[in-house]
Structure 1
Amino acid sequence: MSGHHPFAPGLSHAFTISIVLSKPYWVKPGVRGDTRAAIYAAEGVVEGPRLNGRVVPMSGGDFPLSRPNGVIDFDARYLLEADDGAIIYMENRGYRWARSEEIAEKMRRNEPVEFGDYYMRVTPRFDAPAGPHEWLSQHVFVGVAEKIPGANRIHYFMVE
């Protein structure tokens, strides 16, 4: 059975963040069998139809939990600075996993992989100042991420 659900949300591209990551720091082995990391947001660029600016260097980062089954549970928090100087707090949660052990091993070695070889999706939340950027704090977003060696590029879509 196929068809469009009458309440299915629409998505519109709001912006893309290209972020350069610092070297990872590892807490391993973890006492629960998983591994925690700290990877800082070294720098980045925000570009799109709804928001442009930069990632504030070293304003935060990702503290992912790598599960024994290969799923990475993201917990990222950092600041964005819009072109008009507004500072926006961003919190990002999501998951990444490879579609095969071979691809997972390539990703662990920070080697390039094809977009279809892995799943990497995030759901951000924003604390934005009142004014032209408050729409960020009034909508739900979904991010589709590209894993690039030493970096991430995440395309954010606003749920209509």
Structure 2
Amino acid sequence: MDAVKNLVENMQMLSLNVRHYFQKRFAALELDVTYEMVRVLLILSKQKYMNQQQIADVTFKNKASLTSLIDNLQKRGLVVRNEDSADRRNKIITLTAKGRELVGVVQPIFDEMFDLLYKDVTAEELKVMNRVIAKMNRVIE
């Protein structure tokens, strides 16, 4: 029981440390964005466009908090929100040129952080951790 508790606490601490790492790096570059905003930008950079529900599904955010996040991205000129011609209730989100430029700035920061995390961990250790965490997620769902 203590081992599981320690694992969950370590995962929470890692998540917090990752967010702090990015916030420090973004602040040092004087970027007016949060970790959550950048996650959405990076997700959009891998797709031509997505609707808000698709982004919510990928980020594990509810639609209301995602709406606020997208509003902030739109105010900064990083994304545009357009009506879906197939379903007017849906909004299609796409990166602007400014958004793509910012992705070019932050992607190396993400790559660097993941390289740093991988430095003292073997591929086998990662496979085991991923299997264990996936198993725990299936049980708790």
- TM-score when normalising by structure 2: 0.22
- Bigger relative contact order (CA 8 A; separation at least 6): 1
Task: Determine which structure has the larger helix proportion and give its number.
Answer: 2
- TM-score when normalising by structure 1: 0.20
Whose Rg is larger?
Answer: 2
Task: Determine which structure has the larger strand proportion and give its number.
Answer: 1
